[in-house]
Amino acid sequence: MKKVRIVDVATHAGVSKSTVSQYLNGRYSHMSEETKQKIKASIAELNYVPNPIARSLKAEKTHTIGVVVRDITGYNTSRVLRGIDDYCKKHNYNVLIYNSDFDAAAEKGALQSLKQLCVDGIIITSSGHNSELINELMGAGMPVVQFQLEYPNCRSHIVTSDYQNAAFQATEHLIKLGHKRICFMAQEFTNSYSRRERYQGYLDALNKHGIEADDALLHFWQRESSFAKDPVELLKTDNPPTAIFSQHLAITTDLLKAYHNADIAIPEQVSIIGFDEIPMVELFKVPVSVIKQDSYQIGHETAKLAIQAIKGQLDSPKHTVVDCEFIERQSTCAI
């Protein structure tokens, strides 16, 4: 089927192309009622649908925001995206979503594509490997808002959870149950402020209660290779941890699988607190205590910052911090 163009509507109605354009943009105060009805009838008969992107490009605004995430299927990410989409719809902005699959090259390609599509702004949870490109985009006038992960070499608007205070609460909860050997299990800190803030909250709680930090209780996990040290073997050492504070849903999931396969009793043999809510946790034999991020609110605040930046309402980079909630369940006990 041949695409109907604005010139086709003009020819059918017997008016000029500019007259049809004025009608479509609501500028018909000086247009006769007969002309308006002709154009309206031609649009209906030809089934003409205006191209919103083409029209907005002429006005130098697309009312579209690009969003780049690492895993669109992630439990928290999906809720962040819902918060972004709901807020954008309410304020008449469309959302384009790109999935990077934790790949820096894919993330770079997504950013370049969004630039070519002339989006009004970009929201991203960054890998930290494309900071130079993000800085270039911002330098060229593109509003950028990051969320979840903050990096020192990329100072954009950003929304994060209150990581340090949340980690402090979880660690202090374990300390008050009598635990002093608390393992902090995380991804490599690299240059991420957000990951270091969690560790600092853990250290703050130890320090408050006079417990000396032990480097032997800091253990790392990688997405590709899982744990640097087997968590089952960790419990067999001479001075094992009595509790584990996991810093990511994927880490908590791998940890629970390992202990289930080894018949490790939770919390009798080891207490566990995870950072991030776990899907269908109520169905677990032992529901896990967690730090729950308000993912929907993070999305809401991120979209809010993006639209404010697009409208030129922010003079300098703004950092919005969203509170977390500690949810106590049955995976911890006193010793």
Backbone angles phi, psi at 183, to 5 degrees: -85, 130
Would you give per-residue pLDDT tens digits along the chain (335 residues)?
A: 567 889 999 999 999 998 988 888 778 778 899 999 999 999 999 988 776 555 555 556 789 999 999 999 999 999 999 999 999 999 999 999 999 999 999 999 999 999 999 999 999 999 999 999 999 999 999 999 999 989 988 989 999 999 999 999 999 999 999 999 999 999 988 778 889 999 999 999 999 999 999 999 999 999 889 999 999 999 999 999 999 999 999 999 999 999 999 999 999 999 999 999 999 998 899 999 999 999 999 999 999 999 999 999 998 999 999 999 999 999 999 99
Q: Which of 228, 216, 146, 215 is nearest to 187 (CA)?
A: 228
Give the H/E segment covering residue 131: helix 131-139
Residues 167 and 283 both lie in one domain: yes
What is the rounded CA–CA span in Å between residue 254 and residue 335?
A: 25
Extract the tokens encoding 215.
Answer: 């480097």
Taking the C-alpha atoms of residue 71 and residue 107, their distance in angstroms, rounded to an integer, is 11
Main-chain phi, psi angles of 277, to 5 degrees: -65, 155
Q: What is the pLDDT of residue 134?
A: 97
Which CATH number does the domain housing residue 203 bear? 3.40.50.2300
- pLDDT digit string, tens, across residues 248-282: 999 999 999 999 999 999 999 999 999 999 999 98
Question: Is residue 167 domain-shared with residue 284, that is, in the same domain?
Answer: yes
pTM: 0.82
CATH number of the domain enclosing 31: 1.10.260.40
- Residue of 150, 129, 133, 331 whose CA lies nearest to 244: 331
**Of residues 79, 159, 93, the one with CA closest to residue 126:** 159
Q: How far apart are CA 284 and CA 28, in angstroms?
A: 63
Q: Is there a contact between 317 and 156 (Cβ–Cβ < 8 Å)? A: yes
Count up the domains in the chain and report the number: 3
Please check whether residues 73 and 148 belong to one and the same domain: yes
For 35-66, the pLDDT digits (tens) are: 999 999 999 999 887 765 555 555 567 899 99
Evaluate whether 95 touches 84 at the Cβ level (below 8 Å): yes
Domain enclosing residue 112, as ranges: 64-161+295-323
